[in-house]
Chains A and B, each alone.
Chain A
Amino acid sequence: MAKVKVIVPVCTSIWNEAIETLMEEQKEPETRLNVEDLGCGPDSLEFAYDRAFSELPTVQAAEKAEREGYDGVIIYCFAEPGLEAAREALSIPVFGLCGPSIHVASLLGTRFTVVLAGSERMFDSKRRVVRSLVGRYGLARQCASIRSLRIPVLELENQGEEKLRKLLAEGRVAVDEDRADVLVLGCGGILRIGRDAAQAVGVPVVIPAIAALKICEATIRMGIAHSKRRFPRPEDKRRIPQACTTLP
């Protein structure tokens, strides 16, 4: 039995149920899931500023998950806050949403487009962040383009139809103009996207929640995790671990 902890690196619990439902549907029969938000940190991750508030509690939550006997951790955000730090601290596999999604996409086609969410004015900056993340995974050349639904993350859930309409529109442009052959949803909050969406765009659509879950389950089953050569365990020293509770 594989126990997977899903950390939603924000202070709100509005995503937990939808994430759990989706993952429960797609998990292997023997996987046990636990989805939890931080209870502190930012409402959503759209700025580097937000990220700074999210990383420390995320790393602490990941460490707690390992202590509690979980076999793997998913940091449920495409920007992967705290991922490298958590990988240093933990020996069990830790994944964010971006890496698994873009590597799965690369196994399905040759050029993927990432479709982000977030407010209009943040698009350009977010695109740069994701582009550099894709580059760090070594997949810059496989990335056809980065587009956006231009819907603020916190409005994604109540814009059901608009979300789908924009996804299809962006997907079509990605395929026709950017020559993408796979779409990657670039935000964990783009949920409740039915199978018909993929059919309508005509290319596979990678849902990050599912990609991360499948890769996490796979590594647990294989008995491997991130390389400790690349992510060596930090030495013991003072790091004021209660910082989160002293935040304003």
Chain B
Amino acid sequence: MKRIKVVVPVSSSMWNAPAQLLMDKYKETDTEITVVNVSKGPESLECTYDEVFGEYFTLLEAEKAEEEGFDGVIVYCGSDPGVRAAREKLHIPVVGIGEASYHLACLLGEFFSVITVGPPDLVATQCRRVRDHLRVYALEHKCASVRSVAIPVADLESAKKEQERRLLTVGRKAVEEDGADVIVLGCGGMIGVAEQLTKEMGVPVVIPGVAGLKICEALIRSNLAQSKRCFGTPPVGKKRVK
């Protein structure tokens, strides 16, 4: 049995049920998924400012997961908040759904496009954040483009039809104009919208939550976790004013 804790780094519980359903659909039979949101933090992560508020509480939740005996942690947000900090502290594998998606995309094609979300006036900011992350992962040269459906995270569930419609328009541009051969959905809140895009565009669409799940299961099964050589354990007995 593999026990995985999925930490949704927002204070809203609106994603717990959809994320649980998604994970349960794709998990292996002997995997057990527990989805929790952080008790404090931002309602959604749509800029770097939000991210800082999300990171700290995500880290605490990840530490708790290891204490509770979970075998792996998935941080359920495309911007992977707190993943690197949690990797330093924890010995069980910590997987960010963004990073997992990008690597999986590289295994399926040559160039991927990321389609992200967020308020219309923050489209450029959101796209910059994705590119920032890709630079950290040293994968920016594998990215054909970063585009957005320009829908705030909080509206994704209620505006699903509109989301699907825009995804199709933006996805077509990514493939035909930017030369993407794989599409990565950039936000964990984009649930149940990949099918039509896959059918219309004929390219693989990576659903980040599923990519994170499969990578986490793979690491647990193969007895692998982050390298302690580069994610070294933080010094103990140091004040950090929790």
Taking beta carbons and an 8 Å cutoff, which residues of A are in contact with B?
26, 28-30, 95, 99-100, 103-104, 106-111, 137-139, 141-142, 175, 180-182, 195, 202-204, 206-207, 210-211, 214-215, 217-219, 221-222, 224-231
Contact = CB atoms under 8 A, between A and B. Distances in A.
Interface residues of B, number: 47
Contacts of A104: 103, 215, 218-219, 224
B159 to A, nearest CB: 25
Interface stretch (B9-17, B38-46, B104-112, B120-128): B104-112
A224 B206 CA distance: 8
Contact of A107 (B28, B99, B175, B223): B99
Contacts of A30: 28-29
B226 A108 contact: yes
Given A210-B222, A227-B182, A229-B181, A110 B230 contact: yes
Given A211-B218, A228-B203, 11 more contacts: A103-B104, A109-B227, A137-B106, A141-B138, A211-B222, A215-B104, A222-B26, A225-B204, A228-B202, A229-B175, A230-B110
B75 interface: no
A109 B221 contact: no
Contacts of A230: 108-110, 181-182
A210 B108 CA distance: 18
A224 B205 contact: yes
A215 B107 contact: yes
Interface of B: 26, 28-30, 95, 99-100, 103-104, 106-110, 137-139, 141-142, 175, 181-182, 198, 202-207, 210-211, 214-215, 217-219, 221-231
A99 B103 CA distance: 10
25 contacts: A28-B30, A28-B221, A29-B28, A30-B29, A104-B103, A107-B99, A109-B226, A110-B230, A111-B230, A138-B142, A180-B229, A204-B225, A204-B227, A210-B222, A214-B217, A219-B107, A221-B28, A222-B214, A224-B108, A225-B108, A226-B107, A226-B204, A227-B109, A229-B203, A231-B109
Contact of A222 (B95, B202, B207, B221): B207
A138 B106 contact: yes
A214 B218 contact: yes
Contacts, number: 136
A107 B100 CA distance: 7
A103 B221 CA distance: 17
Instruction: Sort A-B residue pairs by CB-CB distance and give the 8 closest, nearest first.
Output: A214-B218, A218-B214, A227-B109, A109-B227, A227-B181, A181-B230, A181-B229, A230-B181
Contact of B103 (A26, A107, A110): A107
Contact of A229 (B100, B109, B206): B109
B109 A202 contact: no
Contacts of B229: 109, 175, 180-182, 202-203
A204 B29 contact: no
Contacts of B210: 222
Contacts of B227: 108-109, 181-182, 203-204
Contact of A109 (B95, B103, B217, B230): B230
Nearest to B31: A28
Nearest to B231: A109
Nearest to B206: A224
Nearest to A112: B227
A182 B224 CA distance: 11
Chain B CB within 10 Å, residue with most, of A26, A182, A227: A227
Nearest to B224: A204
A228 B137 CA distance: 26
A227 B108 contact: yes
Contacts of B142: 138
Contacts of A110: 230
A137 B204 CA distance: 17
A199 to B, nearest CB: 11
B131 to A, nearest CB: 15
Contacts of B30: 28-29
A224 B225 CA distance: 25
A206 B224 CA distance: 8
Contacts of B205: 224
